[in-house]
């Protein structure tokens, strides 16, 4: 079995993860999605963006990187929220 060649670029850091965070926040705002389901939506959005946009010529690469996009968005949002709560608690 040969592993796929996966190229990471600026798309991964600057566009994909914030886009997924934005998508999940908009869906929460407009469709009143419950909080426990949002990480699943972020993961699905990461997989879709990766397979359909950034790694459209290799499904295996798209799934692999989409998993990272989704979980990076989940972790980034959780870190921002925790930091914001800690900052507000100090004030």
Instruction: Summarize the confidence of residues 79-85 as an average pLDDT.
Output: 94
As a three-state string, the secondary structure of the chain is CCCCCCCCCHHHHHHHHHHHHHHHHHHHHHHCCCHHHHHHHHHHHHHHHHHHHHCCCCHHHHHHHHHHHHHHHHHHHHHHHHHHHHHHHHC
Q: Residue 91's pLDDT band (boundaries 50, 70, 90)?
A: confident
Identify the pLDDT of residue 7.
66
Looking at every residue in the chain, the average pLDDT score rounds to 88
Model confidence band, residue 8 (pLDDT cutoffs 50, 70, 90): low
* Every domain of the chain and the residues it spans: 10-90
State how far the Cα of 58 lies from the Cα of 85, in Å rounded to an integer.
40
């Amino acid at each position: 079995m040969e592993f796929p060649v996966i190229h990471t670029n600026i798309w991964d850091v600057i566009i994909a993860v914030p886009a997924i965070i934005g998508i999940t926040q908009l869906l929460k705002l407009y469709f009143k999605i419950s909080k426990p389901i949002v990480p699943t939506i972020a993961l699905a959005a990461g997989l879709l963006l990766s397979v359909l946009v950034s790694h459209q010529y290799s499904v295996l690469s798209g799934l692999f990187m989409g998993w990272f996009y989704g979980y990076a968005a989940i972790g980034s949002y959780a870190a921002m929220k925790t930091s914001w709560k800690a900052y507000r608690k100090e004030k």
